[in-house]
């Protein structure tokens, strides 16, 4: 079978490798679509401590079950699915606190998903696999994982309909936030970015947009929210300066979520009085819990959440290197690999 092998920064090659051997407690799945994630792009650019080359990257996917071992449900053969790349154990100290996304002993699918076939162990299937209808949009379904991460963000913010939200950064994750906040009934969804093309997409999703190079953001927020200010700010840019900037835009009681990962050892400089006197809260969210994943797949299957404007490119596995290069140069917002 074909697989895209990551061999170190800047090097990814299509190779013919042996298909995984399905065990009796596993499903064999043919990958149909697989999303190119920020983490994959970062790994391609500079390497990543979690991904030791050579290996197969990719973790966002949709597929079809083509075979099932004797200890799993054979009636699912031919069904279309998506599956969480990892699931929590539901038993460790983190899981007992309800922090499933931070589980100490996660279990997962057999390999990265930039390949034709993967296997899904029973435990992972039971906790993280979602079977969908035949007419499901499989390209959008492949992005259940990033949508799940945004649902975790929304959950950690304790988002309430009717509130005002600012999203800093209109990359694919910022834009998925915009789509979800709009559909979940935010009063105002504001998005800032330097990239005009991305702002245009945010606008199409129903957000008000501004480029900090051209607009005084603080005044703009005031205007847009009729002087009421922001209830939530999502920092969807991996830059410490953006977190500091968020404190500038916060109002009394605003909750700021550091959604984008920052380089190791980053520091921010803020006046703690903003946290004390203005009761501004700084939180973080990372990954997703199995339940976020199920909700995400449902929302995509029912088309309550749609990603048609965010997925800018479908690229065949043979041209995956091009997908990485386009993503690096910000020529694409979200690329989905097809097989």
Query: Smallest gap, in angstroms, from Cβ of residue 159 to Zn ion?
Result: 21
d(CA 146, CA 285): 13
37 lines the binding site for Zn ion (CB under 5 A): yes
Interacting span for Zn ion (CB under 5 A) from 13-21, 59-67, 152-160, 184-192: 59-67
Interacting span for Zn ion (CB under 5 A) from 18-26, 119-127, 144-152, 217-225: 144-152
Interacting span for Zn ion (CB under 5 A) from 98-106, 161-169, 239-247, 255-263: 98-106
Q: Which residues pair with 147 in a beta bridge?
A: none
103 lines the binding site for Zn ion (CB under 5 A): yes
d(CA 201, CA 206): 9
Residue 117 vs 288, nearer CB to Zn ion: 288
By CB under 5 A, how many residues form the interface with Zn ion? Answer: 8
CB 152 within 8 Å of CB 287:
yes
Torsion of CA 29, 30, 36, 41, to 10 degrees: 80
Residue 88 vs 225, nearer CB to Zn ion: 88
Three-class secondary structure of residue 267 per DSSP:
coil
Q: What share of the chain is helix, strand, coil (3-state, %, to 5)?
A: 35, 25, 40
Question: Which of 1, 64, 66, 89 is the binder for Zn ion (CB under 5 A)?
Answer: 89
Query: Smallest gap, in angstroms, from Cβ of residue 35 to Zn ion?
Result: 7
Query: Smallest gap, in angstroms, from Cβ of residue 241 to Zn ion?
Result: 24
Torsion of CA 141, 146, 147, 152, to 10 degrees: 150
Query: Smallest gap, in angstroms, from Cβ of residue 105 to Zn ion?
Result: 6
Interacting span for Zn ion (CB under 5 A) from 46-54, 139-147, 181-189, 245-253: 139-147
Interacting span for Zn ion (CB under 5 A) from 12-20, 96-104, 150-158, 234-242: 96-104
Residue with tokens 């005002």: 164
Residue 29 vs 95, nearer CB to Zn ion: 95
Query: Smallest gap, in angstroms, from Cβ of residue 40 to Zn ion?
Result: 8
Q: Which of 147, 146, 152, 140 is nearest to 62 (CA)?
A: 140
d(CA 146, CA 144): 6
Three-class secondary structure of residue 188 per DSSP:
strand
d(CA 112, CA 117): 10
Give the x/- contact pattern for Zn ion in 145-184, rule: CB under 5 A: x---------------------------------------
Residue 76 vs 102, nearer CB to Zn ion: 102
Q: Which of 247, 301, 311 is nearest to 135 (CA)?
A: 301
Q: What does residue 286 show for φ and ψ, rounded to 5 degrees?
A: -145, 125
Q: Which residues are at the interface with Zn ion (CB under 5 A)?
A: 37, 60, 88-89, 92, 95, 103, 145
């Amino acid at each position: 079978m074909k697989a895209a092998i990551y061999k170190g920064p800047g090097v990814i090659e299509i190779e013919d490798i042996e298909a995984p051997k399905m065990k009796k407690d596993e499903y064999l799945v043919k990958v149909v679509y697989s999303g190119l994630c920020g983490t994959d792009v970062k790994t391609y650019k500079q390497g990543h401590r979690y991904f030791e080359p050579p290996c197969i990257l990719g973790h966002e996917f949709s597929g079809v079950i083509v075979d099932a071992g004797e200890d799993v449900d054979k009636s699912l053969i031919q069904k279309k699915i998506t599956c969480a790349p990892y699931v929590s154990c539901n038993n460790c100290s983190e899981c007992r606190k309800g922090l499933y996304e931070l589980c100490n002993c996660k279990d997962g699918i057999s390999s990265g998903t930039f390949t034709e076939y993967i296997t899904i162990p029973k435990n992972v299937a039971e906790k993280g696999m979602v079977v969908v209808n035949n007419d499901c949009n499989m390209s959008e379904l492949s992005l259940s994982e990033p949508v799940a991460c945004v649902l975790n963000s929304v959950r950690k913010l304790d988002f309430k309909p009717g509130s005002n939200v600012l999203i800093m950064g209109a990359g694919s994750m910022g834009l998925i936030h915009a789509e979800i906040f709009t559909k979940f009934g935010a009063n105002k969804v504001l998005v800032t970015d330097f990239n005009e093309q991305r702002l245009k997409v945010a606008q199409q999703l129903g957000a008000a947009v501004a480029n900090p190079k051209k607009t005084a953001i603080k005044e703009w927020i005031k205007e847009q929210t009729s002087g009421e200010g922001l209830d939530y700010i999502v920092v969807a840019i991996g830059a410490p300066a953006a977190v500091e900037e968020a404190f500038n835009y916060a109002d009394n009681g605003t909750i700021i979520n550091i959604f984008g990962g920052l380089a190791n050892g980053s520091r921010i400089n803020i006046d703690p009085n903003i946290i004390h006197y203005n009761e501004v809260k700084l939180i973080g969210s990372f990954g997703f819990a199995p339940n976020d994943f199920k909700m995400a797949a449902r929302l995509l299957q029912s088309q309550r959440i749609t990603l048609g404007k965010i997925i800018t490119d479908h690229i065949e596995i043979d041209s995956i290197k091009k997908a990485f290069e386009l993503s690096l140069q910000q020529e694409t917002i979200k690329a989905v690999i097809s097989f």
